A = this chain, B = another copy of it.
Amino acid sequence: MTERLVVVGGDAAGMSAASQAKRLRGDGLEVLALERGRHASYSACGIPYWVGGVVDDEAALVARTPEEHRANGIDLRLRHEATGLDLDRRELEVRDHGTSTTYRMGFDEVVIATGARPRRPEIPGVTAPGVHGVQTLDDGEALLDTLEHSPRRAVVVGGGYIGIEMAEAMVNRGLEVTVVTRSREPMATLDPDMGAQVHQAMEDMGIDVRTSVQLREVATGQDGRATGVVTDQGELPADVVVLGTGVEPETTLAAAAGLPLGRWGGLVTDLQMRVFDADGVWAAGDCVESIDLVSGNRVHVALGTHANKQGRVAGTNLGGGYATFPGVVGTAVSKVCDLEIARTGLRERDCDAVGFRYLTVQVGSRTRAGYYPGADQVTVKLVVEQRSGRLLGGQIVGGAASAKRIDVIAVALWNRMTVEEVVSLDLGYAPPFSPTWDPVLIAARKAADLVRAG
């Protein structure tokens, strides 16, 4: 008998799993995919660039159209939402938002790829017109509609990746932009000393950055539209308010089905992306927790690149192959206008939390030979275990060609290298690409000296 796989969630993780399983099993596996929204397989990471006008066309963000998925033999159902999961009966309850009907669907295997949901601040006015999240293509469309009315001032709530990317988008649209964050510095995924550099650069770009601010409410006008935000440090007027306050795993369905969740509210899987203690249940993408290979702890990292890999791993194993997702080291890159930002591994506070005793170095260098035109400034920070000299984390802030240098640190972390070992790495050198000593190596050299000095 043909087995049936149902994938819940039709974005990166879900459709990667569906595609890979179908490719490997063909007619031997019936594959259905349920997506509650109107779009599947799109790049949520691209939304800030679409809203900012850098990417013209919404369609460009769609990696694979529903028609393409269907041509590949996947029964993709848009606006169909899984509202219940019965693990004993092996059935899903599905709401068809198109016809407003509900039906039940049996499965042999199920992949939970329900993604993440924005953490909306629970304050008065947060649902007012003129307040926009940027999680889905529909969110992006709504925000673009608001931008049609030529707003003058934008307040972006949140100083993380989405916050700074949306700040750039609003700058690109010609708005006056204020970023409000409750953190000490923007980009709290970096240590505050590196975040301060991002802060300064954003101010230099004309972006007003307010840190350590508590949001009280969204102020609204007589028409009910947002007119600004009220904070513990006064009111900030705004014609549009953008929420970039991070996400958390969307595991409502899984929790209701009795599946155990991890510390961060995400599903916990084995290396093959099978949910622990739940036969025939798989999970992938923003709704799962991953092993942090530096600390050994589970973490929640919502990133399209992990979602794609995890989905493919689940699909490969569902398809009779073998693949694993060993974990992450916490690499992320971003930019705000011309400033590139990157991080990987543990921050100082992460080290404190897990018990690593560490030292840090921070070095300023250049992205190219000093004499080569366009040599931009770049700052590299390393976090290193005392005594052992083991690399624990790295952060980079700088001009063009800074961010992807983090990959060297990420691969070093993956391989548990010490800074003493990193110093000797054979990295690409030529004047248009690097100083003779690569900035990452200069930082490692300085860190190795400190480790030796004890």
Query: What residues make up the interface of A, taking CB atoms closer than 8 Å to B?
Result: 12, 43, 45-46, 49, 54-55, 57, 60-61, 63, 161, 293, 303-306, 308-309, 324-335, 342, 344, 369-373, 401, 403-408, 410-412, 414-415, 417, 423-434, 436-438
B427 touches A371 (CB 8 A): no
A sample of 4 more A-B contacts (CB under 8 A), given A49-B372, A327-B426, is: A43-B369, A54-B373, A309-B437, A411-B425
A306 to B327, CA, bound (A): 34
Verify A43–B330 contact, CB threshold 8 A.
no
Q: Is the CB of B403 within 8 A of A428?
A: yes
Nearest chain B residue, comparing its CB with the CB of A409: B411
Please state if A428 and B411 are interface contacts (CB–CB under 8 Å).
no
Contact A436 B308 (CB under 8 A): yes
Contact of A427 among B55, B335, B407, B434 (CB under 8 A): B407
Q: Is the CB of B431 within 8 A of A406?
A: no
Q: How many copies does the complex hold?
A: 2
Give the nearest-CB partner of A328 in chain B. Answer: B426
Q: Contacts A43-B436, A331-B427, A331-B428: A407 and B410 contacting too (C-beta < 8 A)?
A: no
The answer to whether B403 touches A433 (Cβ under 8 A) is yes
Please measure, in the bound complex, the distance between the C-alpha atom of A423 and the C-alpha atom of B182, giving whole angstroms: 37
Question: What residue in chain B is nearest A440 (Cβ atoms)?
Answer: B407
Name the contact of A433 in the complex, choosing from B55, B333, B423 (C-beta under 8 A): B333
Assess the A60–B371 pair: CB atoms within 8 A: yes
- Contacts A308-B437, A404-B404; is A334 near B371 (CB within 8 Å)? no
- Are B43 and A424 within 8 A (Cβ)? no
Q: Give the shortest distance, in Å, between A335 (CB) and chain B (any CB).
A: 6
Chain B hits for A326, CB < 8 A? 424
Among A46, A431, A437, the most chain B Cβ lie within 10 Å of the Cβ of A431
Q: List the B residue with the shortest CB-CB distance to A292.
A: B426
Q: Which residue of B lies closest to A306 (CB)?
A: B426
Contact B437 A410 (CB under 8 A): no
Min C-beta distance of A242 to chain B, whole Å: 18
Contact residues in B for A335 (Cβ distance below 8 Å): 430, 432-433
- Measured between beta carbons, the chain B residues less than 8 angstroms from A332 are 428-430
The 22 listed contacts between A and B (C-beta, < 8 Å) are A43-B369, A43-B436, A46-B372, A55-B371, A61-B371, A303-B429, A304-B436, A305-B427, A305-B436, A308-B437, A309-B423, A327-B426, A329-B426, A331-B428, A332-B430, A333-B429, A334-B430, A335-B432, A344-B426, A403-B430, A405-B407, A414-B426
- C-alpha gap A369/B333 in the complex (Å): 13
* Chain B positions within 8 Å of A344 at CB level: 426, 428
A333 CA to B305 CA in the complex, in Å? 27
The distance from the CB of A89 to the nearest CB of chain B, in whole angstroms, is: 35
For A61, A405, A406, A433, the residue with the greatest tally of chain B CB atoms inside 10 Å of its CB is: A433
Interchain CB contact (< 8 A) of A407 among B407, B424, B437: B407
Report yes or no: A304 in contact with B428, Cβ–Cβ below 8 A: no
Partner of A424, one of B61, B309, B412: B309
**Contact at A433–B404, with CB atoms within 8 Å?**
yes
Docked complex Cα distance between A369 and B43 (Å): 9
Please name all residues of chain B whose beta carbon is closer than 8 Å to the beta carbon of A436 when the two chains form the complex.
Answer: 12, 43, 45, 63, 304-305, 308
Most interface-central of A333, A406, A432 (chain B CB within 10 A) = A432
Residues of the B chain whose Cβ atoms lie less than 8 Å from the Cβ of A415? 411, 414-415, 417
Q: When chains A and B are docked, how far (Å) is the Cα of A302 from the Cα of B372?
A: 21
Pick the contact of A431: B46, B327, B411 (CB < 8 A). Answer: B46
When distances are taken between beta carbons in the complex, the residues of chain B under 8 Å from A342 are 428
* Contact across chains for A372 and B426 when beta carbons are under 8 A apart: no
Q: B161, B329, B412, B429: which contacts A304 (Cβ < 8 A)? A: B429
Q: Which residue of B lies closest to A54 (CB)?
A: B373
